[in-house]
Structure 1
Amino acid sequence: MSLYLIVDLAVLFFPLVLSFDRKVAFYRRWPAAFTAIITVGAIFVVWDIFATQRGDWSFSSDHTGHLRIFGLPLEEILFFVTVPYACIFVYEVVRAYFPERGIYFTSWMASILGILFVAAGLVFYTQPYTLTVLVVCGVFFLLTAAVAPHVLMSSWFWAALGICYLPFLVVNGVLTAIPVVSYSDGHIWGVRLVTIPLEDVFYSFVLIAANFLVHILLRARLGARQSAAPNPV
């Protein structure tokens, strides 16, 4: 078993086991969660394939399995399942145990932030990973401001995101310290949080936040359908 696969399984273990907790009952949210994971994951896998071919990063054959899918180790694809699953689980735990407080974050604020991210990305157009991750962050804020600004006003959203950052950075730290994943110097700023490229902070934000966004929207829709369904006689 490869080290990367061990990391993937370790990330998944506790959230999966605790998915059947009575108060959280995460298994009831699996339709929304897995739809979000598949939808967002597909986008990130395509990005990953393109970025790997472009040379933004590469994977150590010493710490991954032999199976490659469009140049990606199977473990890398599983990463976009296990990490989002764990993060969405954290979001549901926050919802179950804490009241919604609300955050002052208007659609205009999100739009301005999105424009700033896109502009910042264009400034660093010679560094492909930096350019891409900043532009994707900008697109996230612009899209969310247009279709679901209420998500950014939720204390559940931001609290869960903040909680997820610590384990995500621990996992990312393991992957970059060994390293399982190596980055091309000319494609990034070169600023690191110990071993983690600063760009990965933005990458983790948009990965987690995008999964939250789709999950929250589907959660509300599926919940509305269940409420509207007639009771069986």
Structure 2
Amino acid sequence: MTKYTYLLINLATVFFPLVLSFDKRVAFYKSWKFIWPGMGITGLLFLIWDVLFTVKGVWSFNANYILGITFFELPLEEVLFFLTVPFACIFIYECLRYYVKWQPADFIVSAICGATIVYGILNCCFNYNRLYTLVTFGTLTPLLFYLFFVLKAKWLNRFFLAYAITLIPFYVINGLLTSIPVVLYNNAENLGKRIGTIPLEDHFYCMALLLMNIAFFEYLRKKGVANAN
């Protein structure tokens, strides 16, 4: 392992989605213009929290595995993370749209949303003193509530299928980051529960990150199609 470790993980994350973006059927490159604005807004919001988490000691970065180039306390590689991961996950989301016609039934999505919202509210109420837990569920819960109950987003069925598939590379990437470890977590600021070496909150943090990116993506694509007509 070298100082390029985190950078290489980022590059490996985005390599295949970038190369396969030119697949003739999916033609993901044609959707890039709908990705960047939402990725920029979402990335900025999450990077602000990331700076706060780093300053407050929610997590830290192992100097042995990063280049040492920092922006507002964050390693360059951490900034890139909020570009490479959403890009790769939206690619998976789009591929499933074309290659997999099945998606979870409405009652399954309703159950997932309801359970996640209730779990999020309980964590905000009973673990408000844990910063990572509070911010993660304090973001995901209202976002999911709005998309499911207010917006009634039809793409949530496909999103949860994509999220389930995304957990495969998620366990590989986050498994590397937390087992090497590149990122070190302060358990006083989270629930202290892990799946392997990955904090439980990471799963919901990832869900919130992807939900926000895809919500912007779907909105901008719909708007772009409407303007084209």
Q: Is the 8 A contact 2:53 2:59 kept in 1?
A: yes
Aligned to 1:51: 53
Aligned to 1:148: 151
2:100 is the alignment partner of 1:93: no
Q: Which amino acid aligns with 1:131?
A: L
Change (3 A) 1:189 1:142: same
In structure 2, distance between residues paired with 1:118 and 1:151? 24
Unaligned runs of 5+ in 1: 229-233
Q: Is the 8 A contact 2:14 2:85 kept in 1?
A: yes
In structure 2, distance between residues paired with 1:168 and 1:101? 20
SS at match of 1:173: helix
111-120 vs 172-181, greater mean Cα deviation: 111-120
- Partner residue of 2:134 out of 131, 135, 160: 131
Q: Is the 8 A contact 2:103 2:161 kept in 1?
A: no
- Partner residue of 1:79 out of 81, 92, 97: 81
Change (3 A) 1:109 1:202: closer
SS at match of 2:153: helix
In structure 2, distance between residues paired with 1:48 and 1:145? 27
SS at match of 2:101: coil
How far is the alpha carbon of 1:115 from its aligned partner?
A: 5.6
Equivalences, count: 226
Identical amino acids, percent of aligned pairs: 37
Deviations 1:86-105 (A, max 9, x none): 00011110111123656325
Aligned pairs for 1:3-82 (under 5 A) are: 3-82=5-84
Change (3 A) 1:109 1:176: closer
4+ runs of 1 displaced by more than 3 Å? 100-103, 105-116
Q: Is the 8 A contact 1:189 1:198 kept in 2?
A: yes
Q: Is the 8 A contact 1:45 1:77 kept in 2?
A: yes
- Partner residue of 1:203 out of 202, 205, 210: 205
Q: Which amino acid aligns with 1:145?
A: F
In structure 2, distance between residues paired with 1:11 and 1:200? 17
SS at match of 1:210: helix
How far is the alpha carbon of 1:225 from its aligned partner?
A: 1.5
How far is the alpha carbon of 1:110 from its aligned partner?
A: 4.7
SS at match of 2:147: helix
How far is the alpha carbon of 1:26 from its aligned partner?
A: 0.3
How far is the alpha carbon of 1:151 from its aligned partner?
A: 3.7
- Partner residue of 1:175 out of 167, 174, 177: 177
Q: Which amino acid aligns with 2:35?
A: A
Deviations 1:128-180 (A, max 9, x none): 111221211112112313553224543x2221111111101210010000110
Q: Which amino acid aligns with 2:126?
A: V
**Alignment root-mean-square deviation, CA:** 2.1
How far is the alpha carbon of 1:6 from its aligned partner?
A: 0.3
Q: Is the 8 A contact 1:57 1:182 kept in 2?
A: yes
Deviations 1:105-131 (A, max 9, x none): 588995785365134222102211112
Change (3 A) 1:3 1:100: same
Change (3 A) 1:122 1:174: same
